[in-house]
Structure 1
Amino acid sequence: MTAFARRARASAGRVHPQLSLVSYTLLAHLEESGGCRATDLAAHHALDKSTVSRQVAALERAGLIERRADPDDHRVRLLHPTEAGTRILARVTATRRAAFRERLSDWPTDDLERFAAYLLRYNAAAAAPPVGRSGTPAG
């Protein structure tokens, strides 16, 4: 898992020098969600607001995101990827898909199906609330 995380951090920086794994993740969420507030980003990723604020500022300086008025409440500013941000995300996605295809090209179908099932199971567990030792949700 550590090697996987290291590769993910390194790949973001290779695509854009100012794009950390965290900022890449935030940028991707903005694209997927159609834009949102910085506080929504912090809540979705369980990050401190100051961390998100620093990442958002860096993404703005790099020209990868912009602030737009919320059509439902013009007092609120929503973050959206710019065209440059969208292009970078598309390039990263294409690069990652090609790398996965290459790495998995010689895997038998049964192995790919098991791997996909394990990833789904892992992601579902990661999305669930943490469970304490007693088996009940922690917190």
Structure 2
Amino acid sequence: MPGPTHRVEFEQMVLGRHTFLRPGGTRPKGTDLDRSAYILLSRLDMQGAMSIGELSDAFGLNHSTLNRQTAAVVRDGLVERIPDPAGGMARKFRITARGRRELETARQAHVAALDRVMADWSDDDVAAFATYLQRFNTDIERLDGRPWPRP
């Protein structure tokens, strides 16, 4: 009989399969942001302007992957390239007002989807789940050496 860690592994795999909680799709209804744009915008919104190198360190992705992702969000007007506010040589990426609006729309769509999933949960159950999920994520971040900023 598999132990509790096996159950966590299985449930994590299944959760990853439910990409953005929309059956048959990659995004909840009400948002045009794909997963990589949503995560990138969330990070820039939380942390502020970042260079390709800083994004690479934060996400553990190579520069070419991030160049493709940032080019797409710049092209869509969600992010802009700016000179380093600290005077450094590398240009940085900053979320635009449109990007912030799109992110907020997407976030509201995700919260609405989660509200539907957890409609029968008590507030205490939702809070406990959020606490355990944050603990799980922060322990991964601690081992990986890449903490994610939180509000």
User: TM-score, length-normalised on structure 2?
Assistant: 0.72
Q: In the TM superposition, what is the alpha-carbon distance from 1:116 to its structure 2 partner?
A: 2.4
Distance 2:28 2:58 in 1: 20
Change (3 A) 1:126 1:13: farther
Cα distance change of structure 1 residues 103 and 12 upon mapping to structure 2, 3 Å threshold: closer
Whole-angstrom CA distance in 1 between matches of 2:124 and 2:84: 47
User: Once the two structures are aligned, what percentage of the paired residues are identical?
Assistant: 30
2:92 equivalent to 1:81: no
Pick the aligned partner of 1:5 from 16, 20, 24.
16
Q: Give me the whole-angstrom Cα distance separating, in 2, the residues matched to 1:108 and 1:46.
A: 36
More deviation, 48-57/111-120:
111-120
**How many residue pairs end up in the alignment?**
128
**How far did 1:33 drift?**
1.0
Consecutive unaligned residues of structure 1, counting only runs of 5 or more, are: 131-139
Label 1:59 to 1:111 Cα distance change in 2 as closer, same or farther (>3 A). same
Alignment of 1:1-139 (within 5 A): 1-6=12-17, 7-8=19-20, 10-11=26-27, 15-16=31-32, 19-73=33-87, 75-129=89-143
Higher strand share: 1
Q: Alignment RMSD, CA only?
A: 2.3
Cα–Cα, structure 1 residues 75 and 124, in superposed 2: closer, same or farther, change >3 Å? closer
TM-score, normalization: structure 1? Answer: 0.78
Moved more, 50-59 or 20-29: 20-29
Is 83-92 or 95-104 further displaced after alignment? 95-104
Stretch moving more, 51-60 or 66-75: 66-75
Deviates more, 1:84-93 or 1:112-121: 112-121
1: CA distance between counterparts of 2:135 and 2:114?
Answer: 19
Structure 2, gaps ≥5 residues long: 1-11, 145-151
Q: Which runs of 4+ in 1 moved over 6 A?
A: none
